[in-house]
Chain A
């Protein structure tokens, strides 16, 4: 199963259409969370909004998670051990207020288990090789723990003076 999510803030019809067209030509089950979008899929299952529990369950079940380039979905993908492909919203197409998601691809692409694409063609290329996409270790928080311990070292040094 492939899970597609657009977030709750803005619609992302373009991504839904890309995935609906892909689903028409592929046997794999696709489930999409649409938000307020106006494009209604013909070839995949969908809901506008799903509960947080369902959302996490869908990510866990999915072989790959397709998403707008939002930090929340990247964190959820990593926590659930599922590789994620992100595509940026474009301000020129009215998909967001600004183009920070395009800039975001720069740092997102540096993370294990995160694959960045900017077009339908790149998205389909990644989908073709979805079996080989790798996720990060589930619940690997070693980088975060390192940062928290570092912050803590300063607080505790002030604490004791």
Chain B
């Protein structure tokens, strides 16, 4: 009997394009796994489908570092409450915080780098590259076939 709930996924990202991409992927996982969401965007996320659980989190970017600690406390609470076996993120800062905490707690972590990053992995993607269990780029040219993987894309 393990603490983390088998198969359960926490999908986390910042709002805007990251959130759009996260939903494209995670919504399709819902028919197979229990999926809960975390993003600073719950005001519009809940309207369409009341069954979907979206936790509102602090809107933090890497540019306001002093807010990272409150976000980390919030994320820690969420992880212990929801007990996901897997964290899935498309970025950016909330994903970094979730992946780092997930690593500490022994939760599996999957990073799908944003499609907007064509030339190199995103800044947040480079930060978690050595820490996430799986790092996926949406552009074949950015994959090295070992630490940065590629298969398909949201569009």
Contacts and interface: CB of A to CB of B under 8 A. Distances in A.
Chain B binds chain A: yes
Interface of A: 71-72, 74-75, 78, 100, 103-104, 106-107, 110-111, 143-152, 154-156, 158-159
Nearest to A113: B155
Interface in B1-35: 6-7, 9, 16-17, 20-21, 24-25, 28-29, 32-33
Interface of B: 6-7, 9, 16-17, 20-21, 24-25, 28-29, 32-33, 85-86, 88, 108, 110, 112, 115-119, 133-134, 136, 138-139, 149, 151-155
Nearest to A109: B118
A160 B48 CA distance: 32
Q: In terms of DSSP, what is the predominant structure of the interface of chain B? A: mixed
B155 A78 contact: yes
B25 A151 contact: yes
Nearest to A148: B28
Contacts of A159: 6-7, 33, 85
A99 to B, nearest CB: 13
A147 B108 contact: no
- Ordered nearest first, which 10 A-B pairs have the shortest CB separation? A146-B152, A147-B152, A150-B151, A71-B17, A148-B28, A107-B118, A159-B7, A143-B152, A158-B108, A143-B153
